[in-house]
A and B are shown apart, each in its own frame.
Chain A
Amino acid sequence: MIALALGRFLARTPWSSAMALFGVTLGVISIVSVHLISASISQRLDGLVPVQLAGFSHFLHRSDIASSHYFELRRAWRKGQLEGVTAIAPLIDETTDIEGSAVRVIGVDLFNPALVPEASSKSNSAFDWLGVWVDESLIDKLDLPVNGILDAPPGTLITDIGPAQEILGWPPSRLSFLGVQINDTFQQTIDLLENVMPGFGSGFPSRTPAVALPDGWRLTTIAEQHPARAFGKSVLFNISALGLLALLVAWLLIYQVAVSWLRRLWPVFERLHVLGADWAMLRHYFLVGMIILATVSSVVGIGLGLLLAQWLLKAAMPLENIKLQLDAWVVIKALGSSLSVCILGGLFAFHRAAQKPSSSLPALITLCLLLIAAGYCLLEPATGLAGGFFSIAVLSLASGFTVIPLLRSLRRVSSWIKGPYLARLSLRESIWYPQEVGAALSGLILAVATAIGVGLMVESFRADFAAMLERRLDYDMVAEGDHAALAALEQKIASNSSVNRYQVYRDTEIRIRGLPVSLRVARVDDQEARRYGEFDALTATEVLLSEQAARMLDLDVGSTIKADDSLMSVAGIFSGFGDVQPRVVLDQGNTLAGAASKIESIGVKTSDPQALLSRVRVDFPGLELRLQTEIRRAAMDTFDQTFAITTVLIAIALLVATLSIYIAVTSMRLNRRTGSRLLLTLGVNRVESIGMDFALGIGIGLVALTLAVPLGLLFGWILCNIINPRAFGWTIELQLMGSALLQPVLMGLAAAVFAGLLRGGRAEEGYANVRR
């Protein structure tokens, strides 16, 4: 009978019941879509590192490494001297030029079955120990037996150690480095959690376990070894962290649904209790209702979340054919989130509705401890990206904790609110019911603060990036492509009178202290040096380092650096926004300049760039030619695309927060139903009533902004000064731009006003009216 009574009650308030269902569904949609997008990107990033290298947790380097070093170390390992190491193998990983194309040659020990490449179905089934596995781009370019075709980035070749040495022209004793597998429980836990939250792992700093290595060896992590992948994973972590925001706001929404639903059911419960139904049984029925709500919402939300993720990825990467699939983890995450929050939120809401006294002291103490931990994470770079985002999460929690006391304080001084009576009434109403709106307000605060923080970071980043482009794009035209064609172009423009200046760039990859670094060689005179900042021409023993390289190698201006037996001093450190790899710039007179022998690009300054472009295009059809304006536009477009997903995630969070506020306002209207009837009796007309809803929305929005603006500014500072340096190795100067601040503020206000103005379900307000 109780179930029947509750069922009929919910059926007679279809709008509110549908809103609860829609609210939880929207929460699940955001959880599923963010997870699927992150998992898809993570998978693509994993594809950057061949399985043969990804299987190792760490790498061992030393100068002039030879196979004898490997066997020596192997002996020590077999004797048990390398504690924690479970596998060790020789590796070759170098880039060489084959028929004018850069080819990445990976040599592995094929006696180890785990390292034999798994080729795609198109591959040749014949196996040759001297053969190679290549990606599709190299099939017809090599005069070597092909064992199979790899699903790998263009220009990848995998073979046994011997053939790899032969391709590179190396002696049989030479190796690149060794791969090792080290048992690390912490890392294994992180890897497991990566399934729940893709990108999670890169939030933690690379750990170098204490292994007693013989002299001369240096241990590097997989992240240090493959900076491009680590860079991508850091981007992913940032996206995932924003996904976590959507998850948190979704949780708050689900809790708000529980509170509002209970609010509507409470008069029925009170009557049933008077008739003899005990509270435990009523709570049980309520929770069953919440579980049904969670289950139905999860099923619908998982399906719609998959569609949203597909649509978002299609919009972000229109040329890619990406097929997303639901895995067990996403189903567990979605169902687990909605069920656990519905059950726990329901229990908590019931507890509060029953007005059982509870002390807030334990929560306050916990919060203080968390704030201390957050402070430590901000100050200590070793806590990595996770530390930075942990501090953001704690600040969000602290702001949520502040909402109800803030509303109570505002209520105490509410008589200060003056103005027209109806507006006065509505504005005060927005702070009058802390329990009803607390959770929803926290969600809105969190969404707006994040929008402000991310907006400030993106705009500051944009300004710094544009300034860097302005400096860096000094040349009117840039030519790239085939080395021989570039060499011929250099000859031609050297004698061209319309060319005011030109610069030849030679790039290569070298290892400094075992870490891969991109090396750029040019004629670094005063003018060229100024492209990187306020620097002077480089001497033969000076280098410029990107901020990333300086951070990774732990170097500062004036430090000395040793590479290939050359000792050089760091003359300056420049911003390398967009660089996925640490970079070193040196003059062509430097002894290390010989490492980069081939021309990669040429920059030209001319009085008529368009005319030059047309001429060069005719003479050198194979070269890729771009004007400065095109490069700038393409760079800014790429910049904006990078943050497209971020914008969508914030929009989802704001949408969820808006719905949450609407549900809270509906709940609040149940409180003021007698007031509504009174106002109707007093002759308040429809226009005035809408005006009151507007004022209520403004009131809620203003309260949200009171906390959201300072919190957003703090988020912006953390993102620019803590997160970015830790994630990408570059610092962004936080700039308080009005546009970045105003847009989220207006969006927050609009969300609250929209929630206040939404008229649906108004007819149901009177239904639960138990008093005249």
Chain B
Amino acid sequence: MKIGSGHTLILNGVSKSYSDGDKQVEVLRDLSISIDAGQSIAVTGPSGSGKSTILNLLAGLLTPDAGSIQLSIGQRTINLDSATERERTAVRRQHIGYVYQFFNLVPTLTVFENVCLPARLNKRRELDDHAAALLKRFGLESRFHTYPGVLSGGEQQRIAVARALVMSPPLLLADEPTGNLDAANTEQVTDLLFETARELGVTLVIATHNIEVAARADLQLKLGATD
């Protein structure tokens, strides 16, 4: 399902802080952005500036202290800031793909099973063929029944991207997806992310330190260091 036309992902006056002992550390203050369907946006900034926090807020893993986050899917608009834990979990499951810096593949599932996992969680067994096609496209057809532990970092990240895309989610979040890869793999994974997202009409939010990766996005959000 694609995000509908117009402003589809809207953050309005979002603030978020964490407590560190007795101290409150403010990571985001009054952040407002809006992203159109199918657009890509790179979130850049120094460590601790709140890049991962934005992604976790968009995924519904965190809720903002203030402000609102609206996600429009088709005719439906979901307020992630006020949704219950259960609703946010359901949104994440059905509509959001996530790629981590450290791949986070499940060690006890084979490559194919890892990619199929989101589809199976949504009881969409018919997407197995799509999973196989993605793996073939990503050059991993010989690795279907291998466990991830024996694969290289580049291969693991390609599997992670395939897994994030198997449901063709309207929103794809990538947290430093190339942060743990060499130059050749960085390029390959970046190509796969942007090209596939564009083809599928997926909105991509990518947090990165890499200027070249950020340059490929339609929009850039630069965050400053917090106190």
Contact = CB atoms under 8 A, between A and B. Distances in A.
A364 B187 CA distance: 51
29 contacts: A414-B108, A415-B110, A415-B145, A420-B120, A421-B109, A424-B109, A424-B113, A425-B108, A429-B108, A672-B107, A674-B104, A678-B100, A678-B104, A678-B105, A679-B106, A680-B61, A681-B61, A681-B92, A682-B117, A683-B89, A683-B92, A683-B96, A683-B121, A684-B93, A685-B89, A685-B93, A771-B102, A772-B100, A772-B175
B104 A421 contact: no
A677 B59 CA distance: 12
Interface in A646-682: 672, 674-675, 677-682
Interface of B: 52, 59, 61, 86, 89-94, 96, 98, 100-102, 104-110, 113, 116-118, 120-121, 145, 175-176
User: Which of A420, A428, A429 gathers the greatest number of chain B CB atoms within 10 Å?
Assistant: A428
A432 interface: yes
B104 A683 contact: no
Interface in A415-438: 415, 420-422, 424-425, 428-429, 432
Contacts of B98: 678, 681-682
A143 B59 CA distance: 98
Contacts of A414: 108
B102 A674 contact: yes
A678 B113 CA distance: 14
Contact of B118 (A425, A682, A772): A682
Contacts of B109: 421, 424-425, 428
Contacts of A429: 108
A683 B94 contact: yes
A432 B109 CA distance: 11
B108 A428 contact: yes
B137 to A, nearest CB: 21
Interface in A261-282: none
Contact of B113 (A421, A677, A685): A421
Contacts of B117: 421, 682
A586 B176 CA distance: 93
Contacts of B110: 415
Interface in A669-721: 672, 674-675, 677-685, 688
Contacts of A771: 102
A687 B211 CA distance: 42
Contacts of B96: 683
B59 A681 contact: yes
Nearest to B100: A772
- Give 4 closest A-B pairs by Cβ, nearest first: A683-B93, A428-B108, A678-B104, A683-B92
Contacts of A682: 92-93, 98, 117-118, 121
A675 B90 CA distance: 18
Contacts of A675: 104, 106-107
Contacts of B91: 683
Contacts of B106: 425, 675, 678-679
Interface residues of chain A: helix, strand, loop or mixed (majority): helix
A181 B109 CA distance: 71
B78 to A, nearest CB: 14
B148 to A, nearest CB: 11
Contacts of B86: 685
A680 B60 CA distance: 10
Nearest to B91: A683
Contacts of A425: 106, 108-109
Nearest to B173: A681
B108 A421 contact: no
B102 A421 contact: no
A677 B52 CA distance: 14
A514 B67 CA distance: 98
Given A421-B121, A684-B89, 18 more contacts: A415-B110, A420-B120, A421-B117, A421-B120, A425-B109, A428-B109, A432-B107, A675-B104, A678-B106, A681-B98, A682-B117, A683-B89, A683-B96, A684-B121, A685-B86, A685-B93, A771-B102, A772-B101
A681 B93 CA distance: 8
A684 B93 CA distance: 7
Nearest to B122: A683
Nearest to A417: B108
B104 A677 contact: yes
B52 A772 contact: yes
Nearest to A679: B106
Contacts of A428: 108-109
B91 to A, nearest CB: 8
Contacts of B90: 683, 685
A422 B118 CA distance: 11
Interface in A585-608: none
A432 B61 contact: no
Nearest to B118: A682
Interface in A757-772: 771-772
B68 to A, nearest CB: 22
User: Which of B59, B61, B104 gathers the greatest number of chain A CB atoms within 10 Å?
Assistant: B104
B84 to A, nearest CB: 11
A622 to B, nearest CB: 76
B83 to A, nearest CB: 13
Contacts of A678: 98, 100, 104-106
Contacts of B59: 681
Interface string A209-243: 00000000000000000000000000000000000
Nearest to A427: B108
A424 B61 CA distance: 25
Nearest to B116: A421
A322 to B, nearest CB: 52
Contacts of A685: 86, 89-90, 93
A685 B91 CA distance: 11
Interface in A426-477: 428-429, 432
Contacts of B107: 432, 672, 675
Contacts of B116: 421
User: Which of B59, B89, B120 gathers the greatest number of chain A CB atoms within 10 Å?
Assistant: B89
A725 to B, nearest CB: 48
Nearest to A674: B104
B113 A772 contact: no
Contacts of A674: 100, 102, 104
A13 B113 CA distance: 34
A685 B102 CA distance: 23
User: Which of B86, B92, B107, B116 gathers the greatest number of chain A CB atoms within 10 Å?
Assistant: B107
A632 to B, nearest CB: 55
B45 to A, nearest CB: 16
A672 B175 CA distance: 19
Nearest to B95: A683
Interface string A58-70: 0000000000000
Contacts of A422: 121
A681 B172 CA distance: 12
Contacts of A684: 89, 93, 121
A417 B116 CA distance: 16
B176 to A, nearest CB: 8
B85 to A, nearest CB: 8
Contacts of A415: 110, 145
User: Which of B94, B100, B121, B145 gathers the greatest number of chain A CB atoms within 10 Å?
Assistant: B121
B102 A772 contact: yes
A415 B111 CA distance: 11
Nearest to B103: A674
A425 B93 CA distance: 18
A432 B92 CA distance: 28
A771 B107 CA distance: 16
Contact of A432 (B93, B102, B108): B108
A674 B94 CA distance: 21
A682 B98 CA distance: 8
Contacts of A421: 109, 113, 116-117, 120-121
A771 B179 CA distance: 12
A681 B91 CA distance: 10
Nearest to B102: A771
Contacts of A424: 108-109, 113
Nearest to B110: A415
